[in-house]
Structure 1
Amino acid sequence: MSRALAAPGTPFVIGGDAHGVTSLRFRGDRFDTDYVRAGAVLGRVLARYRLGGAAWHQLDTVAGTSEWRPGGVAATVSDPALTLASHLELVGERLEWRIEVTNRGSDTVEVGDLVLPLAMHTRFAAGQPATEAVLKHSFVSGHGSHLFWMRSNSAGPYLMLLPAAGTHLEYWDRRVLAEDGEEDTYCAFIHGAAAAAETRATGTNWRQPTTALTLRQGECRSYRFHFRWVADYGAARSAIADSGGIDVEVVPGMTLPTDLEATLALRSSIPVTRIDAEFPEQTDITALPARAGRQLYRLAFQRLGENRLTVHQEGGRSTTLEFFATEPAETLIAKRGAFIAKRQHRDPALWYDGLFGEWAMDRGVLLGPDEYDRIKGWRIYEVTCDDPGLSKPAFLATKNAEHPVAAEVAALDRYIDRFVWGGLQRSDREAHTYGIYGIPDWKTNRESADPGKKGRLHIWRPYDYPHIFAMYFAMYRIARDHLHIPTQLSADAYLERAHGTALAMFTIPMRVIDWSAYGTGFYNECVIPDLVSALKERGWKGQAAELQAHWARKVRHFVLESPDLFGSEYPFDSTGFESTQALARSALDDPAALGVTAGQARAFADRQMAANLFCRGWLEPAYYLLGSDYRAQGADSYTLTYMAQMGGARPCLARPARSPFAAAARLCFAAERMGAAQQRDCRKRLWLLVSRCRA
């Protein structure tokens, strides 16, 4: 039997059944979005408890009884030791949520976990409307915890969950609950000592404090949250601060080099009383004059790695802010380049001579086609090709275009000569020149008995091409700009291969399996506008016009045809945002030349930026969330991927005039020749540039 909650003036439309609330919508919404997953119950609570250190027992409100009344619904479950109750009630513009745990026996009860399964409609399926599912943004960190859910078109309102003044969250997990079949559910923990202890024993490094609840005979403990609607990010920030949480802003970010400082701004209706550092002897915290209703602090860290700050408020409230301290940015870039160059196979007897291999840190072994270590099955491609295998030389070449090291350039030339040209990539002596072989590796494909697309013509994955033409273009810049560095080919030869490979991306996959490169964004293809400019500067006008025509067609597709910006090889992905930003930038720079109007270019740029922010940590102040890209499960897994650096306000690879990466690299190595005061200012500007690559 279906039920409904109603109250005068409420913005919530809530439905349910005998088990509880199963549907939640916004009244008068422009889109028919149900925020609760089909078949799930909102307001469910689980408790895991024990008596006197004995075995754990579990109570689950869905196994109890539900009572519907005007404006509210209550679910209760009991056993001889404990009563667990969950109350949802419409109060004004809010949906209040009260949880009560009562010891109904004679023995003291230890509640190790008190869990809130939040089974929202967060599954993004291929072909579904953009407004059908929602993405979760979550920050679990004591009394300052908050969560909100939003649609992929970024249209408000957002559904927000906030704890009341005396309630906190301290842990989270994803769990398969029996009633949900095989689909796992995000679970937030009010108390999580038992679960955290179990996961720490398996190697998980949850660094925030966790607690258990002790209840004596007849004792009851209650906790309160509320759901509310907020119009946008600004309203979400205000809601956090107004509820007693902390609206946190930090510049340049929460991953901070040891030679730079950060400015921290905190806003809350409950004043901050102090900030404690995890490593006080290696952390500088300086209070600054308050401004615009915010308490300001200057921070600096000297201990490398994770650094935890605990922000205390009146009333015994605390929130954990997790930072990460690194070596100076120029050191990181130089070390990364040196590391890649040294992990190269250098044996002329091997068919994969020149390959930059994966490195097994635990065994100290360089992986390759004869040693995959724990990489099994179809994923062995990660060692030689596809994005994992091809991105390393693209980075190394781009780094050397700004700050060349002769040994690293020589390693790149060996990779090109011994592994790429005539192996991974079809040479100018073969049909389908510039074609790039895909998984599992080029040798397997070239020697395949299948003459078609699953064998000797497995050269149709357009994602593979940009890594290679980005590498060639960077090698062209090395040969052009750093004449003291030996290269195996001339600048013109590298430029010719960069052009040919970029052109092949648009033509060969289409020719072989009818896969158009115009409909999806590929990482590293953002170098195409600069490649076109280089061709023009070299006087190769025909080649420049040919490549520009393909790029313009792709710009028009995205600007005029409104494709799904999250579409990729998966139904929901963030891998295209580096490219779509570059497409938007090109349209804004010269709309008429690309066949669009200025208004159309601006509309697409706005949509692209909104979509980019939608699937990133934006109000989540932890180093592993802030600026990180999210996939369909939000911040629950797969954070801090390659797209965290690649999808920001500017493309981050190989744009000599505009790229933050290129500008950052120049600042890095210019700083080596400056005085101390100039270096500090230079490095601060550097990290601000690098931060632009994140969000």
Structure 2
Amino acid sequence: MKYNKYGLALVCFFMIISGMKAQRTYWSKVENRESTLGVANVYQKFSTPDFQLKLVKASQTVAALRPNSEPYFDFTPGERLEIRDKDSLYHLGDINLRIKDASGTWKSYSTATHRAEVSPLEVTGTILAAADLANTLPNDIPVSVKRYYELDHDQLVMRFEITNKQNAPVEIGALGIPMIFNNILEGKSLTETHAQNVFFDPYIGKDAGYLEVKRLSGRGPALLVLPKENMGFEAYRPLLDDPTPKSIVFEGFHEWMVHSKAYADKEWKGVEQWNEPTSLTLRPKETKSFSLKFVLSEGIKNIQETLVKEEHPVAVGVPGYVLPKGDRAKLFLKYSKEIESIHIEPKGAIEFTEVGTTASNYKEYQIEGKQWGRARAIITYSDGMEQSINYKVIDARKDVVGNLGEFLFNEQWYDDKSDPFNRTYSVISYDYGNKRQVTQDGRVWIAGLSDEGGAGSWLTAIMKQHLQPKKSEIEKFEMFIDSTLWGGLQYSSGDEKYGVKKSLFYYEPDKMPKGTYSDTLNYKTWAAWDNKHANDTGRSFNYPHVAAAYWVMYRLARYHEGLVENHDWKWYLERAYHTTMAMVDLAPYYAQFGNMEGSVFLEILKDLKREELAEMAESLENTMKQRADHWKALDYPFGSEMPWDSTGQEEVYTWCSYFGFDHKAQVTLNAILAYMPTMPHWGYNGNARRYWDFLYGGKAGETSRIERQIHHYGSGMNAIPVLEAYRKSPDFHLLKVGYGGALGAISNITQDGFMPAAFHSYPSTLRIDDLSGDNGPGFYGYAMNEATYLTNNEDLGWLAFGGNLSQKGDEVEVELTTAAKSKIFIAPKKLWLTLDAGSFEKVTYNDKTGEVTLTLNGKTEHTPYAYLRVDGSEAELPFKKVRGAYRIELSKKETIIKL
């Protein structure tokens, strides 16, 4: 297969064009500014047991921070220092303050605003360098600030000493330390970014908080920034005053905030923060130190081990920090000091029950979510340290998914028979803020039922049926397929080329009746495609949505009775196949990249083989092998249409793993783990990095911006390869990350069933986006991932992710709590049990004999048979095999099967 570069001309995404132009304009403007940092003068260099530290002598800000184990690698953007040596550009070593003046007004001060040579201080003992920062702060600042780089037990520490110069108390309402590391991807290839750049993730956990800094490759040592003295991680503020324009190649910088009340009083007023905002009052002439230490972890998977070694509080949540009601979840805490109290906000939102202490000295708690919404637990230790853990309590998974279906097929069901764009019938985009369907948008795909931003809702609607099929909803989806999808959004040219359009909605006011388009929307941008551009079929990312819809309908028709009536199973499976092949034929340029939901193509291949449709199966497999061969030849084969992306990894991993390209699959997995952390915070646990899709799949307006998105579709999508890798080689880190992403995918669904594009991470917002947007790939990830995992961890004992566990002697029993109750992985046996139809009530595992007992729920109107697949056991069951699955006739009551 050859990839045709003509497709590059179709890259009309403004994010690429404007982003790159903005970066070029930025660098040219910055280069013309006066240099004020003093980099033309001497640098200071220091060696510590872990790092090579380089400071700009004039400013004593960090010029480079290199691990001794890899001295060619720099965690900071030191490579751009001679461009970034200007006023208002932040560097590691800066500090931001807001202090209340005599009139009661908060006034801001920053060492980055106006650069000047700082005054060096005498260096003694373990101090490497020190300076009085008065020269780079305004004269009216009521405090003095000194900064020290020093060693404490051979560890690098950065300490700020703040003294109240006044004869009256001084209130500091904001104190932040900019975290400046090398996340500027501008001008680099994928290979260069993975070798040279980092992403960083915050655990905003007060005194127990920390920052993870990890290379994009996922390899090499990880940097941990830990609080040492008076440096509780209260808030994480975007540094919007740094002039670097944010774009697809630069997410922006943030600062670690110790105190944030001044912002809560003003810019963040009325917004519930991750932690209660605080301020600090310094008595006359009082001095207080604030320090951070820099620690290396051997690798990403060793971070928890490193935290324990550093005697830093460690928390492990099972199944994570999204708490479905009805789940008996667990929390394990480890710290050298005793727990004095656990305070829940809001009161009664979570119920804590102490269980005991594990053999590895973790305090174990059983926890249950009681009140829907955000909540936090504040753990106070005997030394006064406070740790906050942010949770999200949701309804039971079956109720979340059920309510989602109700919302999609009622509030979002579009049936305007006079619609001139042929979108009747469909599940259309929705604006939750205004409680209305989105039938027009200046970004035409949002209202056009295609691309991720427009197809999201109907993709979510069909994936909901994969978990919880409902006859009345399927009937509506059949109407969508016959009236809107087949022959509308997708066309057949008569030669089995099933192209998928970029949008049904388009902007051509001269050819449409007067009044068709709203005069309150902006149709004067590149995003207002005309009919010709909307009908273009050259974007491969649109095809998996359609293929997934056909595949789910095939499964419903094949494994259930009476659910699907408009076409037979073969019609659907053949269209899934032809749609897949059309993607490569009609969208050859984009097809060279991994697609979001591309893992569905493997599911289609498996079913073609099961149905003995050999010619189709061979054709699809050969085509995908050519794509995988292309990926195998690349260093980092998952760039997508962007300079860097986090969505192609799912399909790249899927096919590389399938074809035995294990090295490339591992490269892909390592990259995922670099941008998908596990930490005690529902918003960041399993949250795969995405930061530009509020522009293209979010609500237009002030929240349409470059911003770290909390549980955008990357979470559910990237959880697919992470959990697949876990099932191949059970590693507890993978389970925590993958399950965090899977549950994160449904964490933003409202109680009445609306699923937004993502949650806003800016502390000025901290709420869901109002638009449904591109939620579909995320829910696809959840639906494909949803399973129960039973594992025995050497530190924590028997654990269930997605089920309630009980033990009696050698037997471990798990009652499934997932929405579909159709999959369970028993880690000690590497046994993967899945149902194409039917559901498990509970599964019992005998740890001594290895015997597994399955209890299946009774038959339903449309599901008289269960179809069980057993992967990981050679034992044969006394049931007929149909397409590789055991067909089990269900009774009205439970059916018990022993393996």
TM bucket, shorter chain: 0.7 to 0.9
Asked whether the equivalents of residues 85 and 101 of structure 1 are also in contact (C-alpha less than 8 Å), the reply is yes
Could you give the per-residue CA deviations for residues 342-394 of structure 1, whole angstroms, max 9, x where no partner exists?
222113332221121122223332221xxx3xx4x336535521013223333
8 Å contact from structure 1 (residues 259, 680) kept in 2? no
Partner of 2:662: 602
Q: Is 1:84–1:100's contact at 8 Å kept on the other side of the alignment?
A: yes
- Aligned-partner SS, 2:655: helix
2:458 alignment counterpart: 393
Alignment of 1:62-461 (within 5 A): 62=112, 63=115, 65-67=118-120, 71-77=128-134, 79=139, 81-91=142-152, 93-125=154-186, 126-127=188-189, 129=192, 130-177=194-241, 184-201=252-269, 203-291=270-358, 292-342=360-410, 343-350=412-419, 351-368=422-439, 372=440, 375=441, 377-378=442-443, 380-381=445-446, 383-429=448-494, 433-439=497-503, 441=505, 455=533, 458-461=536-539
Q: 1:568 to 1:606 in 2, by over 3 A?
A: same
User: Is the 2:91–2:180 Cα contact (8 Å) retained in structure 1?
Assistant: yes
SS in 2 for 1:6: strand
The 5 Å alignment of 1:598-637 reads 601-618=661-678, 620-631=679-690, 637=708
Alpha-carbon distance between aligned partners in 2 of 1:315 and 1:297, rounded to the nearest angstrom: 21
Contact 1:123 1:632 in 2 (8 A): no
CA contact (8 A) 1:367 1:383 kept: no
What is the Cα deviation at residue 412 of structure 1? 1.2
Give the 3 Å change call, closer, same or farther, for CA 113–688 of structure 1 in structure 2.
Answer: farther
User: 1:58/1:397 Cα in 2 relative to 1: closer, same or farther (>3 Å)?
Assistant: closer
Q: Is the 8 A contact 2:373 2:394 kept in 1?
A: yes
Conservation of the 8 A alpha-carbon contact between 1:162 and 1:240: no
Moved more, 575-584 or 62-71: 62-71
Query: Out of 466, 474, 482, which is 2:560 matched to?
Result: 482
CA–CA distance in 1 between the matches of 2:150 and 2:821? 47
Q: Specify whether residues 580 and 663 from structure 1 end up closer, same or farther in structure 2 by C-alpha distance, changes over 3 A only.
A: closer
The structure 2 residue matched to 1:682, chosen from 816, 832, 841, is 816
Counterpart Cα distance in 2 of 1:328 and 1:88: 50
Q: Could you tell me how far 1:520 is from its partner in structure 2?
A: 1.6
Matched, 1:640 2:701: no
Amino acid at match of 1:638: Q
Structure 2 partner of 1:44 = 94
Q: Which string of whole-angstrom CA distances, capped at 9 and with x for unpartnered residues, describes residues 658-685 of structure 1?
A: x983684899xxx9xxxxx999712179
Residue type at the aligned position of 1:163: P
Q: TM-score, normalised by structure 2?
A: 0.67
Tell me whether 1:571 sits opposite 2:643 in the alignment.
Answer: yes
Change (3 A) 1:633 1:625: farther
2:596 alignment partner AA: Y
Query: Secondary structure at 2:682's aligned position in 1?
Result: coil
Query: Is the Cα–Cα contact under 8 Å of residues 6 and 13 in structure 1 kept in the other structure?
Result: yes
The AA in structure 2 aligned to 1:11 is F
Quick check: 65-74 or 223-232, which moved more?
65-74
Gaps of 5+ in 2: 1-40, 85-89, 513-528, 694-705, 725-741, 746-775, 790-801, 803-807, 828-899
Distance (whole Å) between structure 1 residues aligned to residue 48 and residue 671 of structure 2 = 35
Matched AA of 1:74: A
- Structure 1 residues 106 and 94: alpha-carbon distance in aligned structure 2, compared to 1, 3 A threshold: same
Please give the TM-score of this superposition, normalised by the length of structure 1: 0.85
With 83-92 and 105-114 compared, the bigger mean Cα shift is at 83-92
| Bigger shift: residues 357-366 or 72-81 | 72-81
Change (3 A) 1:237 1:167: same
2-structure distance, mates of 1:237, 1:527: 34
Deviations 1:42-64 (A, max 9, x none): 21112211234433333333545
Contact 2:499 2:537 in 1 (8 A): yes
Q: Deviations over 1:588-613 (max 9, x none)?
A: xxx3xxxxxxxxx3322322222111
Rounded to whole Å, the distance in 2 between the matches of 1:118 and 1:567 is 26
Distance 2:507 2:98 in 1: 55
Change (3 A) 1:571 1:95: same
- CA 1:395/1:386 → structure 2, altered by over 3 Å: closer, same or farther? same
Distance 1:427 1:313 in 2: 66
From 535, 546, 552, the equivalent of 1:468 is: 546
Distance 2:393 2:822 in 1: 15
Amino acid at match of 1:422: G
In 2, Cα distance between equivalents of 1:31 and 1:632: 28
After the TM superposition, which residues 642-661 of structure 1 pair with which residues of structure 2 at under 5 Å, given as runs? 642-648=713-719, 649-650=722-723, 661=783
Aligned with 1:54 (options 82, 97, 104)? 104
Alignment partners' CA distance in 1, 2:220 and 2:404: 41
Question: Corresponding residue for 2:10?
Answer: none
Q: 1:325 to 1:179 in 2, by over 3 A?
A: closer
Q: Which amino acid aligns with 2:227?
A: P
Q: Distance in 2 between matches of 1:605 and 1:265?
A: 32
Matched-pair contact (CA < 8 Å) for 1:242–1:269: no
Pair 1:525-2:598 in alignment: yes
Inter-partner Cα distance in structure 1 for 2:818 and 2:446: 39
Distance 1:456 1:57, change over 3 A: closer
Matched residue, 1:586: 658
Matches of 2:195 and 2:581, distance apart in 1? 36
Mean Cα displacement is larger for which, 314-323 or 53-62? 53-62
Q: Distance in 1 between matches of 2:44 and 2:503?
A: 53
The answer to which of 30-39 and 81-90 deviates more is 30-39
Equivalent residue for 1:597? none
Structure 2 counterpart of 1:623, one-letter code: W
- Judged with a 3 Å threshold, the aligned counterparts in structure 2 of structure 1 residues 528 and 100 are, in CA distance, closer, same or farther, namely same
- Counterpart amino acid of 1:436? V
Report the AA paired with residue 544 of structure 2: P
Structure 1 or 2: more helix by fraction? 1
- 1:6–1:90 Cα contact (<8 Å) kept: no
Q: Compute the displacement of 1:177 (Å).
A: 3.7
Q: CA 1:686–1:196 in structure 2 vs 1: closer, same or farther (change >3 Å)? A: farther
Deviation at 1:66, TM superposition (A): 4.1
Equivalent residues, number: 651
Larger deviation: 269-278 or 132-141?
269-278
In 2: Cα distance, 1:686 partner to 1:349 partner: 38
Unmatched 5+ stretches in structure 1: 592-600, 672-676
RMSD (Å), alpha carbons? 3.5
1:114–1:442 Cα change, 3 Å: closer
Q: Give the partner amino acid of 1:661.
A: A
Question: What residue identity is the alignment partner of 2:480?
Answer: Y
Mapped to 2, the partners of 1:256 and 1:10 lie a distance apart of 39
Aligned AA (1:345): Y
Deviates more, 1:386-395 or 1:187-196: 386-395
Residue identity opposite 1:568 in structure 2? S
Taking the aligned partners of 1:199 and 1:688, their CA distance within structure 2 comes to: 47
For residues 56-99 of structure 1, give each alpha carbon's deviation from its aligned partner in whole angstroms, at most 9, with x where no partner exists.
33333354524277621324226352212222224564221111
Match of 1:26, as an amino acid? P
State the alpha-carbon separation in 2 of the partners of residues 688 and 115 from structure 1.
Answer: 48
Displacement of 1:516 in angstroms is 4.7
Sequence identity percentage: 20
**In 2: Cα distance, 1:366 partner to 1:456 partner:** 20
Q: Which digits, 9 at most, give the CA deviation of each residue in 1:155-197, with x for residues without a partner?
A: 2222221111543121121123467688853111111110122
For the residue of structure 1 that corresponds to 2:446, the secondary structure is helix
Please give the secondary structure, in 2, of the residue aligned with 1:435.
strand
Say whether the 8 Å CA contact 1:11–1:27 is kept in structure 2. Answer: yes
On the 8 A contact 1:24/1:35 being kept in 2, the answer is yes
> Alpha-carbon deviation of 1:434?
0.8
The Cα of 1:573 is off from its aligned counterpart by 1.7
For 1:332, what is the secondary structure of its paired residue? Answer: helix
Q: Would the alpha carbon gap of residues 199 and 110 (structure 1) be closer, same or farther in structure 2, given more than 3 Å must change? A: same
1:453 deviates by 11
Q: CA deviation at 1:404?
A: 2.5
Which one-letter code corresponds to 2:295 in the other structure? R
